[in-house]
Structure 1
Amino acid sequence: MLLEVKDLHVSYGAIRALKGVSCGVKEGEIVALIGANGAGKTTTLRTISGLIRPISGDITYKGKSLIKMPPHQIVSQGISQVPEGRRVFTRMTVLENLEMGAYIRNDKANVKADIKKVFARFPRLEERKAQLAGTLSGGEQQMLAMGRALMSQPTVLLMDEPSMGLAPMLVQEIFSIIKEINQAGTTILLVEQNAHMALSIASRAYVLETGEVVLAGQASDLAKDPEVQKAYLGE
């Protein structure tokens, strides 16, 4: 496994958010974490990113533990997160947001080249590069959050609820872009409430319920599982 979560336990005060979660992502995969609100999906991503300290368990990346690393060091290792709710810097321009995504890099010339690559992938962002990020639509902010995360040149991209609050047409577009990013060589761990879309692009998936993994397997098999269909796919 390129990135592996082993028996992770996390608490918020008296609330046990994760109760022994184990999951992993192999190089080149898209792996989905699906489950209801409060299942522990976001907590898992935030713990991988170093934003939350677990009580016990381990997270390894290329065989090396991340548990004691601060978030900026985890980014410099090659793991970047697109946070839930986009979290763009609203009072900065589109271009400044992208530059912020490259804050750990010293290769200025390559940063410029990577900004061009982001604009090639998201032409709407180039049209609005001098615009304040807070004035963008929800879909454009999601594209900006993705572009900003790509600016740190991640090997693994953690994506938290990329379709949240978007119109159905835009959801299709965002998921197509996620597939393109993966095909271009970035491994993806995807947390998504829209289980149908997540399972349609993932190779494998884990189902979380109240802080525990209750099902795991090939995404195509889970999409056909009657329990998954009933609980998450509205079938």
Structure 2
Amino acid sequence: MLNVSNIDVFYGNIQALKGVSLEVKDGEIVTLIGANGAGKSTLLKTLSGLLKPKSGKIEYVGGSIAGNQPQSIVKAGISHVPEGRRVFANMTVEENLELGAYLRKNSGEIRKDIQKVYELFPRLLERRKQLSGTLSGGEQQMLAMGRAIMAKPKLLLLDEPSMGLAPLMVKTIFSIIEQINRDGTTILLVEQNANMALAIANRAYVIETGRVVVAGTAAELQASEEIKKAYLGGL
């Protein structure tokens, strides 16, 4: 589904990604783990068109999307849930969800999909007329994910969905990620909670200082003593 080959990405003169390559196959959950500042969020921003690679290839379902505008990437079937959630605070929950479908035309289908989001996130149904800025962190994360789903993506990019959430809410969010995947959406997950990420992923990549340094199945990384020491709290 997604093939990234040898991409270099810069912020001004600073190189953030150095020859990064990875693959996401249809139906998978693939996770990227690594320390703060390793380049994980930069990679997702590049895939969604917010940053342009200086070199390398990004192919999605057989066509190049490197350097494409964000709206054309959303139209192609890639949605990005950014770090920090970025909900529209002065709009209601339902207005945020409607905005997620801004490229779609069929209002009847949009209403049906909003109901599906409410089934997936019952808390949002309770809060549907509430301003998004008044929601808890966990509720805002649910809303950010629901808004992304409204674009009907084939590939969902999730950036640190558990950040700042209480342990019980983290479990809920990860359970919903698995449900979204079972419903047919492929997922590329950036997550500092490596234990939780590897528990639900098929495959994983470790990024350090802008480079992919380890790649393998989630089980292989969970079993690696080096990975345990560096990212899994020595478990």
TM-score by length of 1: 0.99
Give the distance between the partners of 2:219 and 2:132, measured in 1 at CA. 37
Secondary structure in structure 2 of the residue aligned to 1:189 = strand
Instruction: State the Cα distance separating 1:15 from its structure 2 match.
Output: 1.3
What is the aligned partner in structure 1 of residue 152 from structure 2?
A: 153
What is the aligned partner in structure 2 of residue 200 from structure 1?
A: 199
The question of 1:143 aligning with 2:131 is answered no
Give the distance between the partners of 1:152 and 1:63, measured in 2 at CA. 20
What is the aligned partner in structure 1 of residue 92 from structure 2?
A: 93
Give the distance between the partners of 1:229 and 1:68, measured in 2 at CA. 36
Asked whether the 8 Å contact 2:33–2:190 carries over to 1, the reply is yes
Give the distance between the partners of 1:19 and 1:47, measured in 2 at CA. 13
Give the distance between the partners of 1:120 and 1:161, measured in 2 at CA. 23
Equivalent position amino acid for 2:224 in 1: D
Equivalent position amino acid for 2:143 in 1: L
The question of 1:229 aligning with 2:225 is answered no
Cα shift readout 1:40-84 (whole Å, capped 9, x = no counterpart):
100000000000011101110011000131000000000001110
What is the aligned partner in structure 1 of residue 64 from structure 2?
A: 65
- The 5-angstrom pairing of residues 113-152 of structure 1 reads 113-152=112-151
- The 5-angstrom pairing of residues 172-187 of structure 1 reads 172-187=171-186
Structure 1 unaligned regions, length at least 5: none
- The 5-angstrom pairing of residues 34-45 of structure 1 reads 34-45=33-44
Instruction: State the Cα distance separating 1:94 from its structure 2 match.
Output: 0.1
Give the distance between the partners of 1:24 and 1:139, measured in 2 at CA. 30
The question of 1:211 aligning with 2:210 is answered yes
Instruction: State the Cα distance separating 1:167 from its structure 2 match.
Output: 0.4
Secondary structure in structure 1 of the residue aligned to 2:205 = strand
Equivalent position amino acid for 2:90 in 1: R
Percent identity over the alignment is: 64
Equivalent position amino acid for 1:152 in 2: A
Give the distance between the partners of 1:34 and 1:17, measured in 2 at CA. 16
Secondary structure in structure 2 of the residue aligned to 1:20 = strand
Give the distance between the partners of 1:7 and 1:107, measured in 2 at CA. 39
Q: What count of residue pairs does the alignment treat as equivalent?
A: 234
What is the aligned partner in structure 2 of residue 112 from structure 1?
A: 111
Asked whether the 8 Å contact 2:49–2:70 carries over to 1, the reply is yes
Give the distance between the partners of 1:104 and 1:226, measured in 2 at CA. 46
TM-score by length of 2: 0.99
Secondary structure in structure 2 of the residue aligned to 1:47 = helix
What is the aligned partner in structure 1 of residue 5 from structure 2?
A: 6
What is the aligned partner in structure 2 of residue 21 from structure 1?
A: 20
Give the distance between the partners of 2:23 and 2:96, measured in 1 at CA. 30
Structure 2 unaligned regions, length at least 5: none
Secondary structure in structure 1 of the residue aligned to 2:41 = helix
Give the distance between the partners of 1:103 and 1:44, measured in 2 at CA. 24
